[in-house]
Structures are given as C-alpha cells and as structure tokens.
Amino acid sequence: MERKEITFTDNVDQTLKMMKDHGLLLTSVGADGRPNVMTIGWGNPGVIWSRPVFVVLVRPSRFTFQNIEATGEFVVSVPTDGMHDVCMYCGTESGRDTDKFAGGDLTVVEAETVRAPLIGQCVRHYECKVVHRNDVADAALSPEIRAEAYPQGDLHRIYYGQILRVTERA
C-alpha cells in the first residue's frame, strides 16, 4: 500500500470524526520490541511549544503504559469504517495476554521515525515521540468527571507526543 506524507493539519477533522465514531488505534512497543495496540476514544492533535503535538491519555494499569514509559514513542492510526469490530476488539483485550495484531488480522508495518509500528489496514498515521508527560490532577478535575471517569482512581497519564511524521494512503 502506497503512502504519502501529509501535513498534520490535513484531514484532521476526519481523524477526530473517526475517533468519535469508532476510535483510533494506538500502537506502542516495549523495550523487547514486541508491539501492542489499543483503541483510544480520546486524543487532541494540535500545536504546543511550536511543534505539532498529539496529546493522548493512558491509564497506568494498561499494558500500553509500560510500553510508552519504556520507549517514549507511539503511533496514532486512523482506521476505516469497516474496522469497527477490530476497534472494539483492541479496546477490550489486553496485550498482556494476547497478540492483538494476530487476533485482529492487523498487518504490522514499519514506521519511519519511531519503533512503534503502523497498521497496514489504516488510512492515516501519526508517528509520535513523547516530549512531555504529566498526570490528571485529581484535585483540579471537575467533580462530575472525577465521579464518571475515575470511580476507582487509576488517573490517566497524559502523553504529549511530538508528531514527527504523518502519512496517508495514496
């Protein structure tokens, strides 16, 4: 599948719409090079520190958390409408027990700037290197959201990934 490089603002409205409708796929690798993929429904592409940055949130209990802490890299991949079931699957299974690339029939494709892989079936990829991280601040969060999102604590870590490269299916 041919891919062309695009600017991070190109079709970002479609990326956000797809995230709302099906989710996006977040890939990472551990120190051992083993890749994982999870589904995310939250994320904020934009600009911080004069750099294109994709902000994503990951709970410490997730297998992806260990990966990003170990390697400081991730890729956000935009699925097609037909990948709804795969997004459901990657959002419910854990990479601790399962090879979700095999289970979801997802093709691992090498990225150019990071070790975390692209997914052959996806239409657009944001290759990201973590340049900052902080945590959701319990006391500074709206009580309504606190009750809704964190009944058991497990507050998210917020990763600020500098977008090094964006590609799209040609």
In the complex, least distance from residue 119 CB atom to a copy of itself, rounded to whole angstroms: 20
Query: Backbone phi, then psi, for 144, in 5-degree steps?
Result: -65, -45
* 45: contact with a copy of itself by CB under 8 A: yes
Which helix (H) or strand (E) segment is 84 a member of?
Answer: helix 84-92
| Shortest Å distance, C-beta 161 to a copy of itself | 11
CB of 66 to a copy of itself, least distance (A): 17
Beta-carbon-side half-sphere exposure of residue 137 (alpha carbons within 13 Å): 4
133: contact with a copy of itself by CB under 8 A: yes
Among residues 102, 140, 152, 170, which is the contact residue for a copy of itself, using CB under 8 A? 140
CA distance 22 to 36: 18
Q: Name the burial class of residue 155, with classes exposed (0-12), middle (13-18) and buried (19+) by CB atoms within 10 angstroms of its CB.
A: middle
Closest of 81, 15, 77 to residue 46, by C-alpha: 15
Greatest alpha-carbon span in the chain: 47
Site string for a copy of itself, 60-99 (x = CB under 8 A): ----------------------------------------
Q: Under the rule (CB under 8 A), what is the footprint of a copy of itself? A: 8-13, 16-17, 19-20, 41-51, 53, 55, 57, 131-137, 140-142, 145, 148-149, 158, 162
